[in-house]
Amino acid sequence: MTRPDDTDTGSGTATYVYGIVPADVETNPDVSGVGDPPGQVTTVRHNDIAALVSEVPVERPLGTPDDLQAHARLLDGSAAVTPVLPLRFGTVMTDHDAVTSELLAPHHDQFRSTLDELEGHAQYVLRFRYVQDAIVNEILDDSADAAALRERIRDKPPEATRTERIALGELISHAVEAKRHADTAAVLGAIEPIAHAVTTRPPTDDYDAAHLAVLLDLAAEDDLEKTVDGLARQWADRTEVRVLGPMAAYDFVMTSAPTPEQ
């Protein structure tokens, strides 16, 4: 595509910035960004890097579910074909000139270096979640104390066994945490040989077994799929697994991106 001109976009609009990509990236005219109606995504180039941008009305607040999805959809779609440095949701600058002078020019070398590191890579998110009944039964089989408490409350009204129920709940919670620690280590051991980098995410559910972000060479996607399938078979009926990706490398580079001046 041709380079967008650097003229002021007008007092009623501002420039929304999604992320940084190599300057030779061409945007699809059918791709839309945040806003209602969605803005057309273009690029602002500076030397050998560029910012993915679209125009947004200054009077309309951002943050709707559609906005969040549009932000992620654009970055994740880009990451599947080119290195992309994602910026945090809601990065808005006054115009294209500001994108160049306040973001691209002062941080050019850092952005270029990060894009070089991301070349050919994307992020994948792995989430293993325990099947609740299966993991509770496993804990009861492993722990005589838990099994004894379960027997003491069996067929008895909750109000008469409140203390025992609280004790059993705490014991199960601690046991799940211990299993999560061990199972996360097992997933890390299986994934690390094929990954460029791995980071552990905090659990988002009481029954999360492992929650990891993986920076992977796109050519190794089949290896990731085979590794995850092997773990899923090993833990059949005990965990459910979900793999998301390829996506932008949020867990590995977004937080280190300089915040544009407002």
Every domain of the chain and the residues it spans: 13-119, 122-251
Please tell me the predicted confidence (pLDDT) of residue 1: 28
pLDDT of 177 over the 90 cut = yes
Which pTM does this prediction carry? 0.85
Please tell me the predicted confidence (pLDDT) of residue 254: 63
Residue 241 amino acid letter: V
Please tell me the predicted confidence (pLDDT) of residue 11: 58
pLDDT of 4 over the 50 cut = no
Half-sphere exposure of 156 (CA within 13 A, CB side): 13
What is the residue whose two structure tokens read 């085979």?
A: 226
3-state per-residue secondary structure call for 78-146: HHCCCCCEECCCCCEECCHHHHHHHHHCCCHHHHHHHHHHHCCEEEEEEEEEECHHHHHHHHHHHCHHH
Which of residues 61 and 201 earns the better pLDDT score? 201
pLDDT bracket for residue 260 (50, 70, 90): very low
Q: Is 43 in contact with 72 (CB distance < 8 Å)?
A: no
Q: Is 227 in contact with 190 (CB distance < 8 Å)?
A: yes
Please tell me the predicted confidence (pLDDT) of residue 247: 96
Average pLDDT over residues 39-52: 95
Q: Is 139 in contact with 176 (CB distance < 8 Å)?
A: yes
Q: Strands, DSSP E only, in the chain?
A: 13-22, 42-46, 49-57, 85-86, 92-93, 121-130, 197-200, 208-217, 239-247
What is the residue whose two structure tokens read 């460029």?
A: 196
Please tell me the predicted confidence (pLDDT) of residue 2: 31
CATH 3.30.70 describes domain 122-251: yes
pLDDT per residue over 113-136, tens digit each?
Answer: 999 999 999 999 999 999 999 999
Radius of gyration, CA atoms only, the chain: 24
Which of residues 154 and 216 earns the better pLDDT score? 216
Q: Which of 87, 116, 119, 117 is nearest to 104 (CA)?
A: 87
pLDDT per residue over 53-112, tens digit each?
Answer: 999 998 888 889 999 999 999 999 999 999 999 999 989 999 999 999 999 999 999 999
pLDDT bracket for residue 154 (50, 70, 90): confident
Q: How far apart are CA 86 and CA 108, in angstroms?
A: 15
The DSSP call for residue 231 is H
pLDDT of 258 over the 80 cut = no
Please tell me the predicted confidence (pLDDT) of residue 261: 39
Which residues share a beta bridge with 208? Answer: 129
Q: What is the mean pLDDT of the chain?
A: 90
Q: 42-46, 61-65, 99-103, 167-171: which has the minimum mean pLDDT?
A: 61-65
Average pLDDT over residues 25-53: 92
pLDDT of 181 over the 60 cut = yes
Please tell me the predicted confidence (pLDDT) of residue 72: 95
